[in-house]
Structure 1
Amino acid sequence: MREVEGQDVTLINAATGSGETVMRIAEAAGLVGSEGQVRYVPTRAARDRVVGDEDGAWPPALMSRHRKQVRRSVGAIFQFPIDAGEQDGDGAPVSLTAFVTDWTGLPSSCAIAVHPGHALSTGLGPEEQAAFTGRFCRHPLTGDLLPVWVADWVKPEFGTGAVLINPGHNAADLEFSRKVGLPVRFSLAPKDYEGAPADWPKPPFIKSGYAFRTGATDGLPFSEAKTKYFAAIAERGLVEECTDSGMGTFQVAAMTADGDVELAWDHRRRTVGSLGDGADSVRLTLSPVLHAAEEHVRSAELTVVTPSTRVEDDLLALRLLLAEPGIEPAVKDAPEVVVVSNAQLAKGVDADVQDDVLGLALLVSAGPLDTLSVKPQHIEPCERFLKVHESLSAREHIAGQDLSPEIAKAAGQIKGLLGRQDLKQAFTQLYRLQKILAKSESVGEQEMFCYSALAHVLAGVSTPYSHEHLATVWEKI
C-alpha cells in the first residue's frame, strides 16, 4: 500500500553487513561476548527512557510485556576517583562509578571489581576468573586506596558494570575475597562489642549491629550510620540516588566461520578491540536488529513485524537501540509494530504447498495475533485466487469502457478494509470481485486496472501494468 501511495519502501529481513554499524553500538553502548555469542549491553540512559515510556507511543500491550522484563534495584551510584589523578576532556578528575544497593558497612569496603569489557579492565586469560588491574581508586568516604580487580562474575548490564567489594558484610564478596586474597574488615559489630577475641564478628555480618571503627559515626545503629555515610559523600558530590532498571543483555551476533562481517575481537576483554593490540580477527553473523543503529533506518518511518515469541528479546533490543542517546540521529517516535502469532500445517495440507499460496493463506486466513492451524479450506481459495488471477490478467480487455458502479463500490470497500488492515475481510470481498470479473464475457480495461491495483496491494501479485499506473489507479479508487 505504501508503495502504490508513492512512498519509498525498503524491506529489511536479513542481517546487516556493516562493520561500522557494530562499531557504532560498541562505542555508544556496549558489546560483550563469550562462547561464540556477541551481546548488546544497553546503556542506563536507554534503559531509563524505555522504563519511563519516554521513547514514543509503543503499543500499550508491548510496553506492558516489556515492563515485566525489568528488574528494579534501589540504590545509589558512588564515584571512586582514580588515584593516578587522570582527567577527562573537560579537566575533571576521572572516576570509577559503581552502583551500590547496600552501604551499611561502607567504610570497610576493600576493593572494586569490574567486568572484563570495562574501560579499566585489563582482561582475563582463558582460564582466569579474576585478575588485579594494577590500578587503584579512592574510597569516597575514607580516602583509602581500593585496588581495582577484573572478575568474570561481574555483570556488565547491572548498574555501571562495577561492584564494590565488602567481604565483611556481604556473602558473595566474602567468597570472592577468600579466593583472591583480599582483606576482610568490619565496620559493623554487635551491640556492646568491645573487641575481645571471643566476640570477634564472624563474616558476613549483614545489615545489623552498630557502626564500629568508623570515627564520628561509631556506635550508631547501622541504618543511621548508612544515612550519615551518604550525607557525607553527597556533600563531596560523589554520590547520587539511583534506581537501576535491569533488562539483561541481548544476543545480536554470533562468531561463525562464514560470518557477514570481519572485526577485531579482544578475547581477554571479551569485546571489540583493535588488531595489533591483543585482538584477533573474527567473523560475525549479525542480527537484523542491528539495523536500528544505522542512520537511514533511524530516520525512516518504520514498521516492525515480529513473532510474538520475540517480543521480550529481539523487539526489546530493537527498542533499546532506538532509544540509545549516543547513536545519532535521535529517535523520538515509536515505529508501527505488527506482532504475529504461530502457524502450523494441519493434517491434509501438502507440506510442499507453494510459497505464494502459503504466504497468501497466512496473510488472509486469520488476524496477526491469532494462532492459525492452516487447513485445506485456507489453502484452496488462495490457490484458486492466484490461478484465476493469472488467467484474468492474460485476457484481452475492452478499452474505453467506464467503471461500473457495482465494481467501483466494491473496490472502495476493499480499499477501506485494507486501510484498516482487515485483510481477512478484504480478501473475501476481493475474491468475490474476482469471480464476477472472471465470469463476465468481457472485462473493461478500467475494471481490470482497478482489480489489479487491489490484488497487487493485498496479495503482492504481479500485474502487466507499471508501478506508476497502479499508483494512479489506486489514488482514484
Structure 2
Amino acid sequence: MRSTIVLVLRDPESAVANLRSEAWGSYLCRLRSAEGADATVATGAASSGEAVTRLAEAATLVGTDNEVRYVPTRAARDRVAADDDGAWPQSTVSRHRKLIRRSVGALFEFPLEPRAETGPDEPASLTTFVTDWTGLPSSCAVAVHPGHPLSTGLGPGEHAAFTGRFCRHPLTGDLLPIWVGDWVKPEFGTGAVLLNPGHNLPDLEFCRKVGLPVRFSLAPKDYDGSPADWVKPPYIKSGHAYRSGSADGLPFDEAKNVYFAAVAERGLVVEHTDSGMGTFRIATVAPEGGTDVPWDPRRRTVARADADDGPTLGLDVSGVLSAVEEHVRSADLTVVTPSTRVEDDLLALRLLLAEPGLAPEGKNAPEVVVVGNAQLAKGTDPDTPQEVLGLALLVNAAPLDTLSVKPQHIEPSERFLSVHETLCARDLTAGPERSGEVSKAAGQIKGLLTRQDLKQAFTQLYRLQKTLAKSESLSEQDAVCYAALAHVLAGVATPFGQEALNSAWAAV
C-alpha cells in the first residue's frame, strides 16, 4: 500500500492562517486514514540537513547574509513552463503562468579547454544562454555566478575573479577566459554570461573594471578603420559585420544568421526560449541553533561533497524541502497551502518535484488545497484554546474563503467539544445495530466530509450530537458511529480504538 502524505505549508507572517492550514491538513490526513490509507501529516523534511545537501547536488543553491535560495534547473523550469509535470489544478497553473518571464535566444556551447587534472565529472563544455549574438565574433570572455560549478568563488569584498579556466569560442576557436562575477544572475539562462563589451553596456562596464579587451565585430557601413572614425563602445545592434570573416559587410541582423548557421553546423548551438521564474527561499540563517550544513563561503553555497572539513552554516529550513526526500516523492501527496504562498512556496515545491536530478521522478501532480487568509475579528479572545480555534477555523468557511473569526464562530465549537466529552463519558447499552435515525444522519455527514464540505458537515454532526446527548440511553453502535464522524471532522479523542473507528466509518 502506497503511503499518503499531507504536506502543510506555512505563512511566516500569520499564525492564525497557519493554524487554519494545519487544521485542514490534519482533517485530510484523518479522512485518508479512515478510508484505509497509511496517511501522515508533514510540515517539513524529516532530515533537514540531508535534504539541503541533496538539493545542492541536483540544483543550485545561493546564499546571502541571511538566507539560502533555490535556483531551479533549466530542465525543471522548462518542464513546469510547458505544464509537463502532471495535472496541477488549473487555478494554480494560471497563477504560476503569470510569473514566467520568457526570453527568446539560443544556447551556445563553449568547449572547455582541458586542464592537467580533470575529474571524472568534468563537463565537456560551458553552456551560455545568449539573447543577442549580432556581435558574436568579438566576444572576449564568459562570466559565471559565484556558485556555478566552474566558479572558484569570491573572497570577502571581491566582486570578480578569474577562475584560471578557459573555453573555446564556438565560432572563432579563440580561447576565452572564464570569470566569476557577483552580478551574474544564477536564475537567468544557465547562470553563465557571454561578455561582449564592444556591443553591450553592462559587459563594457565590467570588462573595463577587470581589464578585459574591448573588440568590435560591428561598425558603420563602409567603415575603413581609420583613427578619426574609430567605433565608440557600446555599438549595439546596428551597422554591418566588421572583421568577422565571411559575414563581413552584411547588415547586423543578416550577419547574426550567418553566425548561428556556422555554429549550428558544428553542433554547438540550439534555439531556446528561457523560462525565468526567479529564486526561492528554502532556508534562513539561524544565528543560534538550526540545522548545520557544510558551507563554502567563497562560492556562497553548500560545500561540495568532496570538500575537506570546513565551516558550517546553521539554517532554519522551509517545509518545501520535504519535496526533496524520496519517501515524499514516492507517496500520494496532498499539499495544503495558505493562499499567500501559492506564488512562492507552492511554485518552489512544484519545481522541486519537477527536478530531474531528484529521484524518484515526480510524474503525478499532488492534490492541492489552497487555504484563504484568516484573522481574529475584534472581540474574539486571543487566548482561545487552540483546539477550539482550530475547529472554528476549519468549519466556518470553505477552505479558499477568507475568514474573520468572530465570537459567534467560537461558541458552537466550544459547545461541540464540551458535549463531545460528555458523550464519551456516558455508559453505553449493547445493541446489534445502529438506529435508523443515526444511520440516515451518518450517511449524509460522511458524504459531506468526503466532499470536504465541512461547514454543512459540522452543522449536521452538531445536530446529531445534540440528539444523542438528549437520549435517555446511548447504544454502543450509535456511539461508535458518531465517534468515527467526530474524529474525522474534529480530531477529537474517543473511547474507541482506531480499528473500531475505521470499521464504523466503513460501515456508514
* In the alignment, structure 1 residue 465 sits paired with structure 2 residue 496: yes
* One of 412, 424, 428 as aligned partner of 1:393: 424
Q: CA deviation at 1:198?
A: 2.3
CA contact (8 A) 1:109 1:165 kept: yes
Q: In 1, are the aligned partners of 2:219 and 2:231 still within 8 Å (CA)?
A: yes
Map of 2:469 onto structure 1: 438
Within the candidate set 61, 76, 79, 2:109 is matched to 79
TM-score calculated relative to the size of structure 1: 0.97
Query: What is the deviation of 1:202?
Result: 1.4
**Counterpart mapping for 1:314-329 below 5 A:** 314-329=345-360
Answer yes or no: is the 8 Å Cα contact 1:28–1:327 preserved in 2: yes
Matched to 2:279, the amino acid is T
Q: Does structure 2 conserve the Cα–Cα contact (< 8 Å) formed by 1:266 and 1:278? A: no
The aligned residue for residue 248 of structure 2 is: 218
Map of 2:336 onto structure 1: 305
Partner Cα distance (2:367, 2:290) in 1: 28
1:419 is aligned to: 450
Q: Matches of residues 246-325 of structure 1 in structure 2 within 5 Å? A: 246-273=276-303, 277=308, 279-325=310-356
Question: Please, which moves more after superposition, 362-371 or 437-446?
Answer: 437-446
Counterpart secondary structure, 1:9: strand
Counterpart of 2:148 (choices 118, 121, 128) is 118
Deviation at 1:441, TM superposition (A): 1.3
Residues 323-374 of structure 1: CA deviation (Å, up to 9, x unaligned): 1111111110011111011111112211111111100000000011111111
Q: 1:436 to 1:93 in 2, by over 3 A?
A: closer
| Deviation per residue, 1:285-344 (Å, 9 max, x gap) | 211111111111100011111011111111111111111111111110011111011111
User: Is 1:186 aligned with 2:236?
Assistant: no
1:200-259 Cα distance to aligned partner (Å, 9 max, x none): 221111111100111111000001000000000001111111111111111111222434
| RMSD, aligned α-carbons | 1.7
Please give the secondary structure, in 2, of the residue aligned with 1:154: coil
User: 1:69: which partner in 2?
Assistant: 99
Q: How is 1:109-258 mapped onto 2 (pairs within 5 angstroms)?
A: 109-258=139-288
Q: Decide whether the 8 Å contact of 2:106 with 2:130 is kept in 1.
A: yes
Give the Cα separation in 2 of the matches to 1:452 and 1:367.
Answer: 23
Deviation track 1:365-410 (CA, whole Å, cap 9, x = no partner) reads 0011111111111111111000000001111121115322221111
Q: 1:16 touches 1:287 (CA, 8 Å); kept in 2?
A: no
Matched residue type, 1:233: V
Give the structure 1 partner of residue 485 of structure 2: 454
**Structure-2 separation of matches of 1:185 and 1:397:** 92
Q: How many aligned residue pairs are there? A: 476
In 2: Cα distance, 1:333 partner to 1:187 partner: 50
Q: Give how far 1:279 is off.
A: 3.9
**Whole-Å separation in 1 of the counterparts to 2:499 and 2:83:** 40
Output the amino acid matched with 2:266. R
Q: 2:393 is matched with which residue?
A: 362
Quick one: which amino acid aligns to residue 345 of structure 1? Answer: L
- Residue 24 of structure 1 aligns to a residue in which SS? helix
Partner Cα separation in structure 2 for residue 89 and residue 78 of structure 1 = 23
The alpha-carbon deviation at position 276 of structure 1 amounts to 6.2
Deviations 1:65-106 (A, max 9, x none): 11111111111111111122687859x971111110000000
Structure 1 counterpart SS, 2:39: coil
Q: Which runs of 5+ in 2 are unaligned?
A: 1-30
Q: In 2, Cα distance between the equivalents of 1:362 and 1:53?
A: 33
Give the match for residue 25 of structure 1. 55
**Corresponding residue SS for 2:170:** coil
Q: Percent identity?
A: 70
**Contact 1:401–1:444 (Cα < 8 Å) also in 2:** no
Could you tell me how far apart the structure 2 residues matched to 1:259 and 1:172 are?
Answer: 41
Which of 360, 367, 372 pairs up with 1:336?
A: 367
Structure-2 change in CA distance of 1:224 and 1:88 (3 Å): farther
SS at 1:35's partner residue? coil
1:15 offset after TM fit, Å? 4.9
Question: How far apart, in 1, do the equivalents of 2:370 and 2:173 lie?
Answer: 54
State the alpha-carbon separation in 2 of the partners of residues 260 and 444 from structure 1.
Answer: 52
- Structure-1 residue corresponding to 2:433: 402
2:37 matched residue in structure 1:
7
Residue 246 of structure 2 aligns with an amino acid whose one-letter code is A
Give distance in 2, aligned partners of 1:347 and 1:83: 68
Q: Find the aligned partners of 2:151 and 2:383 in 1 and give their Cα distance.
A: 54
* 1:17–1:261 contact (8 Å) kept in structure 2: no
Q: Is the 1:188–1:212 Cα contact (8 Å) retained in structure 2?
A: yes
Conserved 8 A contact 2:101-2:276: yes
Residue among 77, 87, 90 paired with 1:57: 87
2 CA distance for matches of 1:167 and 1:392?
80
> Which residue does the alignment assign to 1:107?
137
SS at 1:10 equivalent: strand
CA contact (8 A) 1:305 1:339 kept: yes
1:463 Cα deviation after fit: 0.3
Match of 2:402 among 339, 358, 371: 371
Q: CA deviation at 1:41?
A: 1.3
User: How many Å separate the matches in 1 of 2:113 and 2:307?
Assistant: 29
Give unpaired runs (5+ residues) of structure 1: none
Letter in 1 for 2:232: K
* Preserved CA contact (<8 Å) 1:303 1:336: yes
| Contact kept? 2:49, 2:292, Cα under 8 Å | yes
Structure 1 window deviating more from structure 2 (465-474 vs 14-23): it is 14-23
